[in-house]
A and B are shown apart, each in its own frame.
Chain A
Amino acid sequence: MTAFVGRRLAQALLQIWGAITIVFVALRVLPGDPAELILGSQATSEQLAGLRAQLGLDDPLPVQYLHHLQGLLRLDFGQSWRQGMSALDACLERLGPTLVLSAWAMVFTVVLGFLAGSYAARHANSVADRLISVSSLVGQALPPFWIGIMLSLIFARGLQILPSTADGTMAGLLLPAFTLALPFVGWLGRLVRTGVLEEMNQDYVRTARAKGMSDGVVFYIHVLRNTLVPVVTMLGLLMGNFIANGVIVEVVFAWPGIGRLLVDSITFRDYAVVEAVLTVITVCYITLNLLVDVLYGYLDPRIQLENA
């Protein structure tokens, strides 16, 4: 087990390094100059050159890359020129709200997805099953921002029962978290449905029946546990999707999350922040997947064998 975790850790570090490199290269090779954005359109060329030197943008790329990596080792991503603070701080400040939102979206997704999925599986091919299946497709077919704005128009502007922006209360969380969760509820539901149906056909289910176990025991203790295995691996991916789709929800509901910070920072070529945000997200995401893998090993003991 430790060897397995160790290897996954090494792999995670490699992933993080790769991600950092890709971001670094993408940002410097592609067009756009932060010095011009900082100084505005009226700056002279000497001013620009001076600022570039100050920002370290005129070093050759490999040198910049080295500085960058050195900085990272000290957890130093540089200053955000736009916000006048350390890029990492700027980013960590926004991480909390994003994680809160994602976590709630995850709760909604898992609860609703499991309910819908196992209901559909136990009533396979019924009208309800079909309905769940079609609505899950529709949920994925609508652009998330459209869903968000519609929900906001209905519940905040029309019925006026929920706030349209983050106000720190549970009510303020409801609309954004639900908007974020909606496309994935159906997705998870389908996953659970297929998983349950597949597991129901396994030999061990027949054994459990032959042992005289009741339907409830067979479903909740034997089947569901094994259905969790593929589903749990998906949760890591899901969290990543929440963070990413969070961008849109954050814009619609004025949620002070990390996604909006990223989009703004890209538009303003605030490299330090872009790099900090992407690194932080990547680290979160990879850590989460690491946890999921470990959990996975716990849920499916066969995994350990393969990797031992």
Chain B
Amino acid sequence: MMPLKLRGRTAGLPPRAHFALGTVLVFVVAGVLGPLLVPFDAAATSPPDRLLPPGTRLSDGAVAWLGTNQVGQDILAAVLAGMRTSLTVALVTVVVAGSVGLLMGLLAGYFGGWADGVISRLGDIQLAFPSLLLAIMLAGVLGPSMTNVIIALAVTRWVIFARVVRGSALAVRDREFVDSARVMGASHGRILIHYILPSCLPPLLVAATVQIGLTMVAEASLSFLGLGVPPSQASWGSTIAQGRDYLASAWWIAAAPGAALALVVVSIGILGDLLRDASDPMTEL
């Protein structure tokens, strides 16, 4: 439904939408192709080439356009490789949390009763922890690895999605068109899939978009506390976190991934806003 709508409306999109779409597209393409063109090997370091400013020629003759980091790796390569990790962490987290949230939200919103009771209370209990603290506890106790970061972040986020979905399921559940399907004799499965689900997807999509951005920032925060993706896997978060000690001396380490992160998150935020605007009349229906 959504892509269809988008395609139909591309022509009338405001400039900031073009900017946001363009940015996200460029980054995704760069993330896919970049590492092929500028390969990054986390295990290959070159101590003599440490902390060189952007544009310096390295000992092996190549030019580090964005400079080198504290072990002499090319920042450009690290940023391109990091994008993959960051986007993967964000996407997988959102997909996992979104799916769990969708399922839980549907169960709670549609069936209500004790299913709703259990799921909502569980959500309440979890929301009693500020989410970053929960992520810190989980990541801290599980130890740093990409999977653990995803687990920690997904665990803190499913509730958000579940709430969104539950809200829309609840709103739709008692709508007359659902009642009329019931009167017709439709089964729960049919009602869930054909009637409830389609109304829950747009708000879920909006929430997911926003969460992708926030998850990327959260991953950076975990890295800062040493609980993020391990150094063997470059990620924007960990590169920014490592570069923080050099903000005054070798600013370029944190600058490139930082700018990239901000750009992507802002673009995704703009897209989220537009999606929300676009889907509002839909949820009205």
Q: Do A and B have CB atoms closer than 8 angstroms in the complex?
A: yes
Question: Across the interface, do A144 and B221 meet the contact criterion of CB distance under 8 Å?
Answer: yes
Contact partners of B266 in chain A: CB under 8 A: 134, 137-138, 141
Closest to A11 in B: B124
Which chain B residues numbered 106 to 133 have a C-beta less than 8 Å away from chain A? Answer: 121-122, 124-133
Max chain B C-beta neighbours (<10 A), residue from A137, A247, A248: A137
B241–A31 contact, CB under 8 A?
A: no
The answer to whether the Cβ of A132 comes within 8 Å of any Cβ in the partner chain is: no
A26 touching B241, Cβ below 8 Å: no
Given contacts A26-B137, A274-B137, contact A15 B125 (CB under 8 A): yes
B125 touches A153 (CB 8 A): no
- Chain B residues with CB below 8 A from A162, complex form: none
Per a CB cutoff under 8 Å, which of A137, A145, A278 touches B269? A137
Interface centre among A30, A142, A274 (most CB of B within 10 A): A142
Partner of A15, one of B128, B130, B254, B265: B128
Q: Which residues of A contact B143 (CB under 8 A)?
A: 31
**Cβ-Cβ contact count across A and B, 8 Å cutoff:** 133
B248 to chain A: which residues have CB within 8 Å?
A: 153, 157
* CB of B240 within 8 Å of the partner chain: yes
Q: Which of A11, A137, A262 meets B133, CB within 8 Å?
A: A262
A141 x B265 contact (CB < 8 A): yes
Minimal Cβ-Cβ distance residue in B for A259: B133
Whether A244 pairs with B133 at a CB distance below 8 angstroms is yes
Which of A27, A157, A247, A278 is within 8 Å of B129, CB to CB?
A278
Q: Does A223 contact B (CB under 8 A)?
A: no
Inter-subunit contact B244/A149 (CB<8 Å): yes
Partner of B130, one of A16, A22, A145, A240: A240
Asked if A26 and B130 make an inter-chain contact with CB atoms under 8 angstroms apart, the answer reads no
Is A37 positioned at the interface, with any CB of B under 8 Å from its CB?
no
Interface presence of A96 (CB below 8 A): no
A285→B221 contact, CB < 8 A? no
Task: Please judge, given known A-B contacts A149-B244, A278-B129, A282-B128, whether A143 and B261 are in contact too, CB under 8 Å.
Answer: yes
Chain B: CB-nearest residue to A158: B248
List B contacts of A140 (CB < 8 A).
213-214, 217, 265, 269
Please state if A153 and B136 are interface contacts (CB–CB under 8 Å).
no
Complex contacts, B258 vs chain A, CB 8 Å: 142-143, 146
**Alpha-carbon gap, A19 to B123, bound state (A):** 11
Taking A15-B125, A247-B133 as contacts, is the C-beta distance between A263 and B140 under 8 angstroms? yes
Q: Are A141 and B213 in contact (CB under 8 A)?
A: yes
Q: A143 near B130 (CB under 8 angstroms)?
A: no
CB distance from B257 to the nearest CB of A (A): 10
> How many residues from B make CB contacts under 8 Å with A?
43
CB <8 Å contact, A141 and B247? no
List residues 127-183 of chain B with CB under 8 A from any CB of chain A: 127-133, 136-138, 140-143
Q: How far is the CA of A23 from the CA of B133 in the complex (A)?
A: 11
Q: Which residue of B lies closest to A16 (CB)?
A: B128
* Chain A residues closer than 8 Å to B269, beta-carbon distance: 137, 140-141
Within the assembled complex, what's the spacing in Å between the Cα atoms of A259 and B133?
A: 8
Nearest residue, chain B, Cβ from A30: B141
Assembly CA distance A262 to B139 (angstroms): 13
Question: Given the complex of chains A and B, what is the CA–CA distance between A259 and B214 in angstroms?
Answer: 20
- Complex: A74 Cα to B149 Cα, angstroms: 36
1/0 per residue, CB under 8 A from B, across A1-45: the answer is: 000000000010011101100110011001110000000000000
The residue on B at minimum CB distance from A274 is B137
Inter-chain CA distance A11–B138, complex, in Å, is 25
Evaluate contact between B141 and A27: CB separation under 8 angstroms.
yes
**CB-CB under 8 A for A243 and B130, given A143-B220, A143-B224, A153-B247:** yes
Contact, CB under 8 Å: B225 / A248? yes
Q: When chains A and B are docked, how far (Å) is the Cα of A248 from the Cα of B217?
A: 13
Q: B189 CB to closest chain A CB, in angstroms?
A: 31
Contact B262 A141 (CB under 8 A): yes
B213 contact set on A, CB distance < 8 A: 140-141
Q: Is A281 an interface residue (CB 8 A)?
A: yes
Contact yes or no, A263 B270, CB < 8 A: no
A31 to B240, CA, bound (A): 28
* Smallest CB separation, B273 vs chain A (Å): 8
Provide the residues of chain A in CB contact with B133, threshold 8 Å. Answer: 243-244, 247, 259, 262, 278, 281
A248 touches B130 (CB 8 A): no
Measured CB to CB, the residues of A under 8 A from B are: 11, 14-16, 18-19, 22-23, 26-27, 30-32, 133-134, 137-138, 140-146, 149-150, 153, 157, 237, 240-241, 243-245, 247-248, 251, 259, 262-263, 266-267, 274, 278, 281-282, 285-286
Q: List 6 A-B contacts (CB under 8 A).
A: A26-B137, A137-B270, A141-B261, A143-B261, A146-B220, A237-B127
The 4 closest A-B pairs by CB, nearest first: A244-B130, A18-B125, A141-B265, A244-B132
Q: Which residues of B contact A (CB under 8 A)?
A: 121-122, 124-133, 136-138, 140-143, 213-214, 217, 220-221, 224-225, 237, 240-241, 244, 247-248, 254, 258, 261-266, 269-270, 273
Extra contacts besides A134-B266, A140-B269, A143-B220 (9): CB < 8 Å: A18-B125, A19-B129, A141-B262, A141-B265, A141-B266, A143-B237, A146-B220, A157-B248, A248-B221
